[in-house]
Structure 1
């Protein structure tokens, strides 16, 4: 595309996606995941990027997908027509409304829209030349799961040229939803961009949209955060509402004065869990930047894992484990790890958990610590089956890394004012 065309795109793509667009253009992104709430412009961005991919690669074709075919016309098809018109490409593409197909007149490149409820059609797609190099999964959360999505990708992306997969969706409220888990597990070439309506110029949305959003914010804050901000708000019983799952840079770790390590003993089915943390007391931010998880692994072998990581190689580091297994603590000390058992007593679990909940932010790197991110983000209070009311106390399940972090930071929260 020419420089003037690129400048024109800058006025069509919402500011939240500018850096992502540049990264795609540089070939640094193979999978673009767009999440957000109402009016976040993620679908508009996806449609534009799909057409840009065709314009930049003349041997590339594209496919836009929904879970159910009957939803295509009012979603991906309408978005593609909008993008084509706004990009000034009406004369560039021939439109087949009945088949929901675009064909580029100068090259013969095609854009097809399909529903995965007719998988046979998907498998029968044969480009007239070149390869399918752009695939858009709209409303990803409505697909049945990662297996269905992966199967579609394998059926479509068979060529050798540069390809781009776009996945857009409004995050479901529950952290355990498969798409919410999916974005917490980054992989090479994958870029996740979250946006909401506040990043758009107000005139893009109109006064009525903004009034409706503000009304919901004032009357139902949780619904507002989910619907308009695209936040994973849970069912109202999440224990940790102060999580931030984002990458933690090496320079951020280096700035932390001390490193706190914790271990929760386990064998099978409960795992042995290890975490490394740092604490910024001035901002009340806890950084969790390393983990290890093992099952059926001896104390000697897990100790070697920590030694290889360089745990407690410096004087400003501590290693605290569950004191219920003093023998395991002794085993670690015999191998050169200064492992201490956590101080326990009445109310110690509640005190540690309340401290974690009181922090301004618990920052977890989901790439470095996927198991920890899963536990913290999905940990919920129990509810009474009859009334549905949230019950007091912290469930003792699926919390091994949570316990490891609690042990690691026990010296902080036990101090007065910690």
Structure 2
């Protein structure tokens, strides 16, 4: 076999030397966007599978079907970047990566199918390493503990077992902070990384962060500097992440479905949210979402059709009547404008605060917004209005709830 010599330091870059060398049980990286945490982890995994011929790896995300466009694609990139792609076989069914010379595997699983994880076995060698990507989405520490406990047993001399967690630190209330960052533990290697350690970013990428620092310091603190999101002053504290079967809930006579849409394009995402409301029990179940920039109106219509909500009543931002008319023209007949007026944001918030909110784990962007949607403040004084940020799905949420009040209460 012909040898290929590469400069590993040039491929990986700086800022992750201690991470790369660490062999402790838990290796935890919180970081801002663009901080190389995922690309470094994928290259580490490809390199070390090839280095340790009896080791196998498992990659976990909250929802299995999100792997294909994230971790799976990133591992393919890593193999290419390390110039060893020809030694790997990436299969889509089943979703896995195989190191051809030895048959070692990188497996992919989702917490939405726990049986697929607890019953996992490898054909050759040992399951040594687990990578939890977007670990912030694991809202229940017990889900992590079950997998942690399953990675046990002796491994050959020179081998080690390790769990790696990478995530954006959206909320300081998350169990990850207390577990891995608030106390010293010899079994834990925990660091915070930022875009400043990513020498592979272009000037245009850095400009985005510089503009964010000037115009939106709070978002920059989280997405730029990798600091924990501050949970003080949350607009909604009446929510939790919970697994539920929305089809079963929708069968109840007291349950009504509601849908909201907030338009975006270049700077802001289009946000679509789907709710089930039990008026009798004062419960809201958020069961689906869509969150994407640069969507044209025909794209929005196709998304709604694909999700199966064509015939549903959808309350949309009335600031774009032309977009609403176009959605009707594209085959979404029941979309209609929200009503606007004085104090409509506060009225909508107060109405939602009367309910208990349950968010399905797959609604990742809803969880992020709920975790960071806070009351604005000036010089430390809390104001009676929310920040103009982390509010795209929150606005769509208020629009969706509008139809529950009769007469329709005013929205903005």
- For the aligned pair, the TM-score class normalised by the smaller chain equals 0.5 to 0.7
Out of 189, 192, 203, the residue aligned to residue 191 of structure 1 is 189
Hey, what does 1:112 align to over in structure 2? 107
Out of 83, 91, 96, the residue aligned to residue 86 of structure 2 is 91
1:122-271 aligned at under 5 Å gives the runs 122-161=117-156, 162-172=160-170, 174-182=171-179, 183-201=181-199, 204-235=200-231
Structure 1 runs not aligned, ≥5 long? 239-380, 390-418
CA distance in 2, matches of 1:62, 1:191: 19
CA distance in 1, matches of 2:71, 2:154: 23
Contact 1:50 1:136 in 2 (8 A): no
Query: Deviation string for 1:183-241 (max 9, x for gaps)?
Result: 2234223211211011221xx12232212111111111111111121112414669xxx
CA distance in 2, matches of 1:193, 1:126: 31
Hey, what does 2:60 align to over in structure 1? 65
Hey, what does 1:311 align to over in structure 2? none
1:301-380 aligned at under 5 Å gives the runs none
CA distance 1:166–1:16, shift in 2 (3 Å): same
Query: Deviation string for 1:237-293 (max 9, x for gaps)?
Result: 69xxxxxxxxxxxxxxxxxxxxxxxxxxxxxxxxxxxxxxxxxxxxxxxxxxxxxxx
1:50-61 aligned at under 5 Å gives the runs 50-61=45-56
CA distance in 1, matches of 2:100, 2:11: 23
Query: Deviation string for 1:156-195 (max 9, x for gaps)?
Result: 44453421211100112x3222122222234223211211
CA distance in 2, matches of 1:142, 1:69: 12
Query: Deviation string for 1:62-95 (max 9, x for gaps)?
Result: 0000011121112111111111111112121111
CA distance in 1, matches of 2:381, 2:31: 32
- Structure 1 residue 387: deviation in Å? 3.5
CA distance 1:385–1:38, shift in 2 (3 Å): closer
Would you say how many aligned residue pairs link Structure 1 and Structure 2? 237
Contact 1:62 1:133 in 2 (8 A): yes
- Structure 1 residue 19: deviation in Å? 2.7
Contact 2:173 2:231 in 1 (8 A): no
Hey, what does 1:14 align to over in structure 2? 13
Contact 2:98 2:106 in 1 (8 A): yes
CA distance in 2, matches of 1:236, 1:210: 29
Structure 2 runs not aligned, ≥5 long? 235-376, 387-412
TM-score with structure 1 length normalisation? 0.52
CA distance in 1, matches of 2:42, 2:126: 19
Secondary structure of 1:151's counterpart equals helix
RMSD: 2.8
- Structure 1 residue 129: deviation in Å? 2.1
- Structure 1 residue 96: deviation in Å? 0.6
- Structure 1 residue 122: deviation in Å? 1.2
- Structure 1 residue 151: deviation in Å? 0.5
Contact 2:172 2:231 in 1 (8 A): no
CA distance 1:48–1:181, shift in 2 (3 Å): same
